[in-house]
Structure 1
Amino acid sequence: MHVRTNAPLAPLTTLGIGGNAAHLAELTDLDDFGDVVELARREQVPLILGSGSNVLVADAGCAVPVVRMATHGAVFERAPDGSVVVTVQAGHPLQELVEETIGNGLTGMETLIGIPGTVGATPVQNVGAYGQEVADILVDVTAWDWTAGREVTLSAADCRLGHRTSIFKRSNRWTLLTVTFRLRPAQLSTPITYGMVAKLLGIAKGESVPLDEAAAAVLAVRRSKGMVLDASDPDNRNVGSVFLSPVVNGGQAEELRAEEAPVNDFPDGLTRVSASWLIKAAGFTLGQTIAPGVRMSTKHFTLVAGGQATAAAFAEAARTVADAVQKATGIRLTPEPDLFGDEPAYLRLKQDALASAAP
C-alpha cells in the first residue's frame, strides 16, 4: 500500500472542495489491511474515504491520515431458504452492485440505483431511497475494531441502524471491510410507495413492476433532481441531501400535512419531514446564491458548489439555510456530510443541531 504525503483531497470528493491530506493511502486488496494498521500505529487511526459523496474537506486539509477504500468484489451464494446472500468488499461501488443484483433477478436494492458511494458506506448511513434501505437487507459486516485491535463480525442488530445513522456514525472505532446482504429472487420490485416514481411508471402507489423498470424510473426521478453524478451537469458538485430529514412531533406533523408537506413515518417509530420542502418553505429559490461559490441547485433544494467554492463558504451557506428554516418553521436542520479536518463554523452548526435535538 503506497502512502502519499500532502495529497489533494478535493478531487476525490463530489463537492471538489478542501485542502490536502497529510497522509493518503489507497487500499485495493484486503490482504494489505495490515499496512493500514501499521499506518495507524505510526500516526493515528485513519479516516476512511470511499467515493467522497458525503464528505466536506476543510480548506486547511486534514492532518489525520486518510485511507481511500478501493477494494472490489462481490460473492453471491444461494441460501437454503431460497434467498441469495451476497458478501461485498467495502470499496465496491454501490451502483455496480445494484446493477448486478437487478441483472441477477434479485430484489431488495433496485430503488438504491443511482446513489453514489461505496458499499462500505451503506451501513454507516443506513443508506436508503424510494422505499428501500440497508436495514431491510443487511445480514452482517466484518470490520476492524481499533479498540480491540482485531477483526470482528457485527450482526445487523449490532449495527443499530436508524434513519441515516448507525453505531459507525461519528465513531472512528471501526473500519468496515465487507458487508453481507440477503436478497430475494423476484421478477417484480418491492411495492412502489413514492408518488413521483409511481406517477412516472403509470401505476398506483403500492403496485410492483419489473425490477429494471422500477430502477429506470427511480433513476429518472433522481436525475430530474440533480441527484445523479454527471460531469456535464452544472449542479454536479453536490453531496445529495445536505441536511437530514428532521424529526417532528405529532402537532408539527399535523400542521405540516395540512400544508401538504411530505411528512412520513419511519421504521424507527419517528416521524420526519422533508428537509428540501422546509428549505423551499423558508423562501429560498432554485439557483439562488447563498455564499461565495455555493448556491441552491437549479433542480432541487440542496446546496451545490461552483467556481472557487471553499469549505468555509459551504459552512456559511449551510448555516444561512439552517437559520432561515428555523426562523420560518421552528425546526432545526442537521447537516449530514462528514467533515475531514477542522472547519469551526461547520462543527458549530452540527453541534448546535445536536444540542437542539437533545431531550
Structure 2
Amino acid sequence: MHARVHVPLAPLTTLGIGGDAALIAELTDPAEFPEVVALADREGARPLVLGGGSNILVADAGCTVPVVRMATKGAKFEHGDDGEQVTVTVQAGHVLQDLVEQSIAHGLTGLETLIGIPGTVGATPVQNVGAYGQEVADVLDRVTAWDWAVGREVTLSAEDCLLGHRTSIFKHSTRWTLLTVTFRLRPSKLSTPIRYGMVAEALGVPKGTPVPLADAASAVLAVRRSKGMLLDAGDADNRNVGSVFLSPVIDAKQAEKLLAEQAPVHTFPDGVTRVSASYLIKAAGFGLGRPLAPGIRMSGKHFTLVAEGEATARAFAEAARVVADAVQKSTGIRLTPEPDLFGDEPAYLRLKQKALASTTS
C-alpha cells in the first residue's frame, strides 16, 4: 500500500473539482488491507473510500479525513451445479465497465444495461447502482466488508445491505469499507426485457422484449452517448457526475398528473413511484447549456450539471440550489442531490438537509 500526503483530489474525480486530500493511500493488493486498518488507527479516523470518483463532490478546502483509493482488481466466476446461475465474486476496486463486459462475454445476464456507468464495483451496492431497467439489488448475493465498529471482516447478505433507490445501509456511513461484492447472474444469450423507451427505440423493438446481450449493451451505450453520459475526454460535457439529483418519489395524484403530461414515471422494485429528475428540470424552464454559476452550466445534451474551467464546489452547490428551488417552485416537488461530499461544503450540506426535511415533513 502506497500512502501520500497533500494529494489533489480533483483529478481523481469525474467532476474535476475540489482541494487536496491530507492523506491518501492506494490499495492494489487485498492482502494489504490490514495496513489500511493500521493507518486509520494512527490517524484516529475511519477512511473515506474513493473508487472511480464518479459520484463525488470534493470540497474546495479538500478533505482532512484519510482517503483510501480502492484499486483492487479481479473477478472469480463460479458455475452452480444446476447450471441455472453463476456467482461472480469481484474485488471492490474492479472497474464496473470491465465486469459488465466480462459478464456479457461469459453469456450471463443481469448487468448488461449497467454498461457505460463509470466507477468501481465496490460502489455499486452503496448506491444500489442501476440504469435502464436493471439495478444491483436484482443480482446482489452478498458483500464482504471491514466493519470498523467491531474491528473485523464481516459478510453481509443482500438483505442485510438494505438496498433501496440509490441507497443502502452503506450510504452516508463510514462504518463499513467494502472489500468484495458477489453477484448472482443467469446464463442466457438474451438480456432481461428492455423496459426503457429510448433503449427499445434504439434497438427497434417493443418495450418488454429481450434481445441479445451485446445488442442491449450497444443500445444502452448509444443512448448514454447521446446524453453525454459517457466519459469522453473530447466531449465538452465530460466533467459531470452523471445524474446530480435522485428521481424523486411522487404520490398517486402527482403520478396521474405527470403521466397525463407523458412524463417518464416509473414504479421501482421497492414499490415506490418516481419521476425523472431530468424531466422536472426541463419542465421548470431550464435550457440545455444554460450557465448556472461560475464554471457550472447545464449540459448541452442532457439535463444535468457539468463543470468547466476553474469551477468550484461552492459554485456547484449554488447551481444545484438554483435548479432545486426552481423545480420546487414550478412543480411542488423537491429534488435531492445525489453526489457524496468529501470534506466540508456548507451550502451543499444545507441543500441535502433541506431535501431531507421536505421528504420527512
- TM-score scaled by length of structure 1: 0.99
Q: Which residue of 1 aligns with 2:51?
A: 50
Q: For each residue in 1:208-265, what CA deviation from the matched residue of structure 2 results, as whole angstroms up to 9, or x when unmatched?
A: 1110001000000001001110000000000000000000011111111111111111
AA aligned opposite 1:2: H
Query: How many Å apart are 1:269 and its aligned residue?
Result: 1.2
Q: Distance in 2 between matches of 1:77 and 1:252?
A: 45
Q: What stretches of structure 1 of length at least 5 have no aligned partner?
A: none
Q: Which residue of 1 aligns with 2:308?
A: 306
* SS at 1:267 equivalent: coil
Q: Distance in 1 between matches of 2:103 and 2:345?
A: 39
Q: What stretches of structure 2 of length at least 5 have no aligned partner?
A: none
Q: For each residue in 1:319-352, what CA deviation from the matched residue of structure 2 results, as whole angstroms up to 9, or x when unmatched?
A: 0000000000000000000000000000000011
The question of 1:167 aligning with 2:164 is answered: no
**Equivalent residue runs for 1:137-286 within 5 Å:** 137-286=139-288
Q: Which residue of 2 aligns with 1:28?
A: 28
**Equivalent residue runs for 1:38-77 within 5 Å:** 38-43=38-43, 44-77=45-78
Moved over 4 A (4+): none
Q: Distance in 2 between matches of 1:267 and 1:202?
A: 26
Query: How many Å apart are 1:81 and its aligned residue?
Result: 2.7
* SS at 1:168 equivalent: coil
AA aligned opposite 1:122: T
Q: Distance in 2 between matches of 1:226 and 1:47?
A: 28
Query: How many Å apart are 1:186 and its aligned residue?
Result: 0.5
Q: Which residue of 2 aligns with 1:333?
A: 335
Q: Distance in 2 between matches of 1:250 and 1:208?
A: 30
AA aligned opposite 1:127: V
Query: How many Å apart are 1:157 and its aligned residue?
Result: 0.3
AA aligned opposite 1:58: A
Q: Distance in 2 between matches of 1:215 and 1:339?
A: 31
AA aligned opposite 1:247: V
Please tell me the root mean square deviation across aligned C-alpha atoms, in Å.
Answer: 0.6
* SS at 1:154 equivalent: strand
Q: For each residue in 1:76-129, what CA deviation from the matched residue of structure 2 results, as whole angstroms up to 9, or x when unmatched?
A: 010123111100000000000000000111100010000001000000000011
Q: Distance in 1 between matches of 2:281 and 2:314?
A: 20
Q: For each residue in 1:58-82, what CA deviation from the matched residue of structure 2 results, as whole angstroms up to 9, or x when unmatched?
A: 0000000100000000000101231
* SS at 2:192 equivalent: coil
* SS at 2:350 equivalent: helix
Q: Taking every aligned residue pair, what percent have the same amino acid on both sides?
A: 77
Q: For each residue in 1:165-221, what CA deviation from the matched residue of structure 2 results, as whole angstroms up to 9, or x when unmatched?
A: 000001100000000001111111111111111111111111111100010000000
* SS at 1:218 equivalent: helix
Q: Distance in 1 between matches of 2:81 and 2:179?
A: 25
* SS at 1:228 equivalent: coil
Query: How many Å apart are 1:292 and its aligned residue?
Result: 0.4
AA aligned opposite 1:13: T
Q: Distance in 2 between matches of 1:285 and 1:210?
A: 36
Q: Which residue of 1 aligns with 2:12?
A: 12
Q: For each residue in 1:32-66, what CA deviation from the matched residue of structure 2 results, as whole angstroms up to 9, or x when unmatched?
A: 00111011101110000000000000000000010
Query: How many Å apart are 1:303 and its aligned residue?
Result: 0.1
Q: Which residue of 2 aligns with 1:2?
A: 2
Q: Which residue of 2 aligns with 1:78?
A: 79
AA aligned opposite 1:158: D
